[in-house]
Homo-oligomer: A and B are copies of this chain.
């Protein structure tokens, strides 16, 4: 089989890799590229811009490695497995955009596209801590919170490709913190990197560069950092309990930048999870740290490319 190329697309970063069938990344490339430009005024120019950026990044890498098949995780909602982008919160001009088809034309290869968070779940199940589990809820704790669900070995995306908006589960219904989605009290407003940094600035009244530094302070016993990280762990545990009460899925995997604070987050998370489950499910849920660091999405992209 010829090589498969995997792409993980973020708002400002593009990662490309050649992944072998054992899930090893044998070549990799990273680019900074703004998919969303303020200059765009119509869907047509926004489409052209996105296709141009992606093609210019992917084509040389694909030629170099003799790849003729692309799998891609992309931040947006898709109509089923069609590769038709229904919408994307970061790219509001794009509606019902035939992303996979257009990209297939410009690249001259088969293209399979899936929601980025669902792609990470697929990668985690195939190669990571979710191996051998038919049902899996995967959570990516990064700038925001993404989530993907596998049910009975099939990626689940819902009626509009919008399933598993786990980051927007509401924990504080009445006086919760404002979330990027416009609602209040979402778990993302407490337990994403953005939220941690914001909380730190507010509570500790000083600036901090990144979430990693907050975890470091917590490890050193600083009360302020402990308060914030404990709160993040608790809120994640509460939100996972809500998901488990609905789905009765008992393997949860967690990846992304914040999983670097696992030693700090996990105890509070586990305690609140067990507190909030219904009695017969208490103690039955495994919350596992990803073994794939930030590669789950890339490995999922390779998996969907191979499965089509």
Contact = CB atoms under 8 A, between A and B. Distances in A.
Contact of A158 (B165, B171, B247): B247
A13 interface: no
Contacts of A247: 158, 163, 246
Given A164-B246, A170-B276, 13 more contacts: A87-B280, A89-B280, A151-B151, A157-B248, A158-B249, A159-B248, A160-B250, A162-B248, A162-B278, A168-B245, A169-B242, A171-B173, A181-B278
Contacts of A151: 151, 156
B242 A160 contact: no
A243 interface: yes
A161 B278 contact: no
The range of chain A's interface size is 35 or more
Contacts of A159: 135, 248-250
A168 B259 CA distance: 28
Contact of A172 (B169, B173, B242, B275): B173
A301 interface: no
Contacts of A81: none
A238 B160 contact: no
A166 interface: yes
Taken together, the copies of this chain in the complex come to 2
Contact of A169 (B162, B163, B168, B246): B246
Contacts of A160: 248, 250, 280-281, 284
A182 interface: yes
Interface string A48-79: 00000000000000000000000000000100
B165 A278 contact: yes
Given A171-B173, A248-B160, A279 B166 contact: no
A247 B242 CA distance: 12
Given A170-B242, A173-B171, A238-B170, A248 B278 contact: no
Given A172-B173, A173-B238, A165 B246 contact: yes
A183 interface: yes
A281 B170 contact: no
A227 to B, nearest CB: 16
A279 B161 contact: no
A171 B135 CA distance: 26
A182 B169 CA distance: 22
Given A278-B165, A279-B182, A280-B87, A248 B172 contact: no
A46 interface: no
